[in-house]
Every structure is written in structure tokens, then in C-alpha cells.
Amino acid sequence: MLSSNSDLLWAKIHLAEGRLNAASEQFWTHPELAHLLPVFLVQLHRVMQAGLHLMQTARDRALTFTDDPVSRIVAPYLDQHILEEKDHDDWLLDDIGTLGITPAEVASTAPVPSVVSLLGAQYFWALHIHPVTVFGYLIVLEGYPPLAEQLEAIRKRTRLPATAFRCLIAHADNDPHHIADLNRTLDSMPLSEEQQMYIALSAFHTIDAVASVFEDLLALHATSSEIRLSSLRAS
């Protein structure tokens, strides 16, 4: 019988993860992944940067709820996790640089709509519902890390430099510890049924939005390939 907060949440996540698994598989097995991966890393950088600010926003709001037992657990956890994730966006920027993409080019690249949806919804829930909702977002993002051996296989298949994978490999190593901390922290909270519902909604939206990121990048690649092919035919 499911009894803990994390068990209940993961049971719901597993019911909804099909689309994410399918989109992820289609992306990572794409025959032109070498062209897709740099674009993915640039979008991931936008997620990392905004994710840090999101956690700071949720932490700051939790600190205003001095009499709320859930917020008293949320705030110190986010304080610690912000420190754990600090500078990871800079690590990724360095990795992207080894692919010949400058920081200015990264900064000037517009986020795809699904990235905006991914983060924008979390700000709404954290600011207008309860900061604990960010746990649905974090658990999904930390709960599906790539394995180091998978990343090595991708590196060999794409023939991209190993330096482009340093941040991804660090997360492959660290995310299992982070998800264990997230589960333990969630289990320590005296959540109401309403809070459990909103955390689940946050997780469902995160699953849907991350799947959409993969799908958007694949669609953009297909469109750009068609444009290049049309240009070659015209010439």
C-alpha cells in the first residue's frame, strides 16, 4: 500500500510518463543527433538559469509563511539545493563553448515555447498557490537523469568532443543523490490533500513540457533540413 508522499507522487508520475519516454527516445536515437545536441544544450542552459531563479523565488516566498509547517521545510531544502546547483549553468556554458558556440550566441538564442511553458507555470504555482509545488518540477527533472554509460555511447555515436558532455555527466552522477534527498524531504512534510494535488499537477506539467521541448527541437530540425534541401534543389 502506498503511504508516503513520495510513493504517492511517483505512482502518479509513472502513469503519466509515457509521452516523455517516447519523445526522449525519439530525440536521443535520432540519426542526426550530432546536429540536434548543440541546440538542446543551449535550451538546457536557459532551463538551468531560469531554474535557479525559480528556486530562489519559491524559497523567498516560503520564508514569508512563518507559521506554515510545510514552508518551514521547503525553504531550507531549497537553500541547500540552490547551493548544489550553483554555477552549473556556467559549467554548461563552458561545455557549449567547446562546440564553437559563444556565450553571446547562447544568450541571444530565444527559448523555444515549451521551455517558457516549463518554467512559467512553475512561477505561477510558486507565487499564487504554494512554493511546495516546485517539488513536482524538481522531482521530474532530477528523477530522469541520463546514465553515464548512455552519455558515453551518445558521445561515440555523435563524435562530438567529450568536453561537450562534462555537465551532463556530472548530473548523471549527482542526480540519484538529489532525488533521494527530494523524496526524503517530501516524505517529511505534513502535506494537505490540496498540496499533494498541486505538486502532482506541477509534475504532470513538467512531464508534458519536457516532452514538448524534445518534440519542438525535432520539429525545428526537420523544418531547417527541409529548408536546406529546398535551397540545394533551387541552386
pTM of the model: 0.91
Segment 201-223 mean pLDDT = 95
Domain residue spans of the chain: 8-28+37-225
**Of 137, 228, 117, 208, nearest in space to 178 by CA:** 137
Task: Encode pLDDT of 42-100 as tens digits.
Answer: 999 999 999 999 999 999 999 999 999 999 999 999 999 999 988 889 999 999 999 99
Largest CA distance in the chain: 70
CATH number belonging to the domain at 8-28+37-225, selected among 3.40.390.10, 2.40.160.10, 3.20.80.10, 1.20.910.10: 1.20.910.10
**pLDDT grade for 229, boundaries at 50, 70 and 90:** very low
- Give the type of residue at 45: H
Helix axes 134-143, 33-64, angle to 10 degrees: 150
For position 231, what pLDDT does the model report? 44
Task: Encode pLDDT of 103-124 as tens digits.
Answer: 999 999 999 999 999 999 999 9
Contact between 76 and 88 (Cβ < 8 Å): no
For position 129, what pLDDT does the model report? 97
Helices (H), 98-192: 103-108, 113-128, 134-143, 148-158, 166-187
Query: 37 pLDDT exceeds 60?
Result: yes
Percentage of residues of the chain with pLDDT beyond 70: 94
